[in-house]
Amino acid sequence: MNEYLPGLAGVPATQSNISDIDGENGILFYRGYPIEELAEYSSFEETSRLLLDGRLPTAAELADFTCQLNENRRIKFHTRGMMKNLPASGHPMEMLQTVVASLGMFYPGSDCLTGGDACRDLDYIHNTTVKIMARLPCIVTMWEHIRNGYDPIEPRTDLGYAENFLYMLNGKEPDPLLAEIMDVCLILHAEHTINASTFAVLVNASTLANPYTVMAAAIGALSGPLHGGANQRVLEMLKEIGTPDKAEEYVDKKLANKEVIWGMGHREYKTKDPRATILQGLMDKFMAARGGDLNPMFEVAKAVEAVCEDRLAKKGVYANVDFYSGLLYSEMGIPADQFTTIFAIARSAGWLAHWREQLSDNRIFRPTQVYTGEPRRSYVPISKR
């Protein structure tokens, strides 16, 4: 194949049985299970085990996996010391990429990946997966305190994954509804086929790079506004619009200038992103629990979505997962620049599932190119130029 397709659009890069998308009907499957069912009935820990192992765990397996995650949350003081020396003004995603990349120095052992049986040491793969998943939320919450001049809050082993994240972030046990909402948000963001950050995982994993470097590459890809960083931009956009009555003018101006409307459109979906539908429902549930006390930005968001649907539905452009996630996180008291780190925490499950899958049948990625440069020519000495 010599045809160049920008962005590798529609070009299969791998075979995978982890997740699938029916873009025409707006359905997302994890290992064959619709995301709606997992969001309603599962937990992030159970969904992660499903992604990693390919099947729903038994009660004993889930309890063991949860226990492993809970008991691997502590971070070495060297890492904390390094974080204290990072600029407090740095973006949390930059911090997360830096710290995760450094973990391979503190938790060595990836030598087992360099031999001919790279994919065979399943104990190493599993143990490393647990360490990474357990520590990402702790790193994120530690940074929130460190960058504000405070010592971080120690993790607890008696709280679930989402509960402990909110506890370490705020210093108090979360309201059960907030913990439930965060758990569902983590499930929704855990996996989404071969997107940019997951492709970064595959490429780096194929070189047998250590898993912390693999994760750091994925975090770097996720940080861009065209990928995970879009939810922060959505919130900024809604604040710029200000009130629902200004939504139509704003959208029409953006469309006329061919500018991005953050949170709208997805390369895979030709209808509304199923994750956006679930997030909107969570927003309604959250507001109902507060007695109908609506954040004005929620009304702005619904107005923007209505205008965009009127203007863009015929083109298959609808709200995506980023459109409501940032607004929901904001209502939970989470700083806007931490939205994408939550995305990374959740997506670690999918990334590590793809890391494991890549190692099981590995071949280094080496795509070709379409050369558009000069034909062969002779060197001209500098005195004759």
Q: Which residues are catalytic?
A: 266, 322
How many angstroms separate the CA atoms of 46 and 275, rounded? 18
Q: Sheet containing 33-34: which strands, arranged edge to edge?
A: 19-22, 27-30, 33-34
* Nearest Cα to Cα of residue 350 among 225, 221, 218: 218
- E-assigned strands of the chain? 19-22, 27-30, 33-34
* Residue 377 tokens, joined: 């020519």
Q: How many Å apart are CA 146 and CA 215, to the nearest integer?
A: 23
Cβ-Cβ contacts under 8 Å for 326 (sequence gap 6 or more): 231, 232, 234, 235, 336, 339
Give me the DSSP letters along 326-350: HHHHHHTT--GGGHHHHHHHHHHHH
Contacts 24+ apart (CB under 8 A), 38-43: 38/187, 39/184, 39/187, 39/188, 39/278, 42/187, 43/160, 43/161, 43/183, 43/187
**C-alpha–C-alpha distance, residues 360 and 279, integer Å:** 34
CA gap 11, 162 in Å, rounded: 36
Structure tokens belonging to residue 295: 């954040």
Give Rg (Cα) of the chain: 22
Give the list of residues 6+ apart from residue 246 with CB closer than 8 angstroms, or none: none
CB 284 within 8 A of CB 228: no
Residue 124, CA distances (Å) to 62, 211, 364 in order: 19, 11, 21
